[in-house]
Amino acid sequence: MRIAVDGPAGAGKSTISKAVAERLGYIYIDTGAMYRSVGLAALDAGLEPRSERDVSGILDDIEIDIKNGDDGQSFYLNGENVTERIREPKVSMAASSVAVIPAVRLKLVELQRRLAEKADVVMDGRDIGTYVLPDAELKIFLTADAAERARRRCAELIAKGETADPAVVEAEIKARDKNDSEREFAPLRKADDAVLVDTTDMSIEQVINTILELADKRR
């Protein structure tokens, strides 16, 4: 069974997908973290993440490893544990920028498909239902109002001891959604056969249960 969870930034995809995977005993695959790792590699190399030529030039030297530990998943970029660094706000836009580049997508999609062959998975991202796993048994398109998504992202940042301005976070989320939806190759889009779940007025538990019920019917 493969469950694809797509949607805009801050809709709660990773929280929900992680919880659903845990309850079902499936593997959770965070594809956003892979684009974030490439975005970080570009920033660390002093490159412009939008530059197809520059980023394509370092792509062969980028190795991403995922390790499952007791405290969750860790991401390694060329051997360095970047689990924390890829969550920095400046990496979000860099990830969205490198994600426009077809060569980046092809490299990461290959890795994502390989991971999904080995186990039952819950995979979240932007193009999982439309491009990465078009035959997934269950597809969810998770969304929420932009203001609510910004509010949740701010709460997350504040919980980590960072400062966050809701207006700035909302503008950043909207810019990223626009960039992710308007790119040519595998843009953010609801698959025709995906179930739309608007989480604006739902609790996390309600969203998890909605997806578990849908999964139960498809198994």
Residues that bind ligand DC (CB under 6 A): 9, 31-32, 35-36, 92, 95-96, 99, 125-128, 176, 180
Helix (H) or strand (E) holding 198: strand 195-198
Nearer to ligand DC, 94 or 215 (CB): 94
Nearer to ligand DC, 72 or 213 (CB): 72
Closest contact distance (angstroms) between CB of 8 and ligand DC is: 9
Closest contact distance (angstroms) between CB of 13 and ligand DC is: 6
Closest contact distance (angstroms) between CB of 217 and ligand DC is: 25
Q: Contact 55/104 with Cβ under 8 angstroms?
A: yes
β-sheet bridge partners, residue 71? none
CB atoms within 10 A of CB 192: 8
Q: Measured between alpha carbons, how far is 114 from 121 in angstroms, rounded to an integer?
A: 11
Nearer to ligand DC, 132 or 215 (CB): 132
- Chain length of the chain: 219
Nearer to ligand DC, 114 or 217 (CB): 114
Closest contact distance (angstroms) between CB of 216 and ligand DC is: 25
CB atoms within 10 A of CB 45: 13
Closest contact distance (angstroms) between CB of 74 and ligand DC is: 15
Inter-CA distances, 177 with 78, 86, 141, 189, Å: 28, 18, 14, 10
Phi-psi region of 186 (alpha: psi -120 to 50; beta: other; left: phi over 0): left
Nearer to ligand DC, 113 or 218 (CB): 113
